[in-house]
């Protein structure tokens, strides 16, 4: 039996790598269909992936060994469907193809949802942090723009229209600054709530897995 870490790492590294030809000419010729089946199973792919391999190999005059492929796939899918891997898949924000056999499905889905909830909680915290950073940076930009506008108003050759435009711009910038200053505390409060939720989630999941 392969290690938990090994399977989780394989699943993470190979997820989403099925673009283009599914197998190379050399793989078609080698004909190690049981290994290819295992590879697809441990990636959580459907057994119908064999059809894509068949399309890739037919141009080389190779017909897949369906029996060997299915044997490998069934071994791989059982490893993919272990709860620790379900948690890993969810924690990384990946989807799944609902391919687990009935005796493993419930525990896999429970672990997947736990990992998924952790992923979503982390994303909420990260998104709020980025939103606050953007607003703080914008405040700095507004400050610089107001100074620049005030300096421009000192130009003695300004026309009345130009001076009015600069005053209007300053007013717009001040209005935006007030709005952003009012928005930041609410975002910070939301961040504190989400961060506590994430900490609690980390703690509860750690207690279950230890």
Report the range of poorest mean pLDDT among 25-29, 42-46, 190-194. 25-29
- Cβ contacts of 14-21, under 8 Å, gap ≥ 24: 14/39, 14/42, 14/43, 15/43, 15/44, 15/89, 15/92, 15/94, 16/94, 17/43, 18/45, 18/49, 18/52, 21/56
Residue-wise pLDDT tens digits, 78-127: 999 999 999 999 999 999 999 999 999 999 999 999 999 999 999 999 99
Query: Mean pLDDT over all residues of the chain?
Result: 88
The pLDDT-based confidence of 208 (bands split at 50, 70, 90) is low
Tokens of 60: 């080389």
Angstrom distance (rounded) from CA 14 to CA 87: 16
Q: Which residue has the higher pLDDT, 103 or 28?
A: 103
In this structure, what are the phi and psi dihedrals at residue 32, rounded to the nearest 5 degrees? Answer: -85, 70
Q: Is 107 exposed, middle or buried (0-12, 13-18, 19+ CB in 10 A)?
A: middle
Q: Which residue has the higher pLDDT, 137 or 210?
A: 137
The one-character DSSP state at 120 is: H
In this structure, what are the phi and psi dihedrals at residue 20, rounded to the nearest 5 degrees? Answer: 75, -160
Q: Is 7 in contact with 77 (CB distance < 8 Å)?
A: no
Report the range of poorest mean pLDDT among 4-13, 60-69, 192-201. 4-13
Which CATH architecture does the domain made up of 118-209 adopt?
A: Orthogonal Bundle (1.10)
Q: Is the pTM of this model over 0.85?
A: no
CATH 1.10.287 residue spans of the chain? 118-209
Report the pLDDT averaged over residues 163-173. Answer: 95
């Amino acid at each position: 039996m392969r290690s938990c870490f090994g399977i989780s790492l394989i699943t993470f590294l190979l997820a989403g790598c099925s673009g283009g030809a599914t197998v190379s000419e050399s793989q078609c010729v080698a004909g190690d269909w049981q290994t290819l089946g295992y590879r697809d199973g441990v990636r959580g792919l459907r057994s119908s992936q064999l059809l894509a391999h068949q399309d890739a190999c037919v141009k080389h005059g190779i017909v897949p060994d369906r029996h060997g492929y299915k044997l490998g796939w069934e071994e791989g899918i059982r490893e993919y469907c272990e709860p620790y891997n379900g948690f890993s898949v969810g924690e990384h924000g990946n989807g799944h193809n609902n391919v687990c056999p009935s005796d493993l499905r419930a525990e896999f889905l429970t672990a997947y949802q736990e990992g998924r909830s952790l992923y979503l909680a982390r994303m909420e915290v990260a998104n709020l942090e980025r939103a606050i950073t953007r607003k703080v940076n914008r405040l700095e930009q507004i400050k610089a723009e107001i100074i620049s506008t005030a300096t421009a108003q000192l130009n003695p050759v300004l026309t009345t229209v130009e001076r009015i435009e600069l005053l209007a711009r300053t007013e717009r910038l001040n209005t935006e600054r007030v709005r952003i200053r009012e928005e930041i505390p609410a975002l910070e409060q939301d961040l504190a709530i989400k961060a506590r939720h994430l900490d609690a989630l980390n703690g509860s999941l750690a207690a279950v897995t230890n």
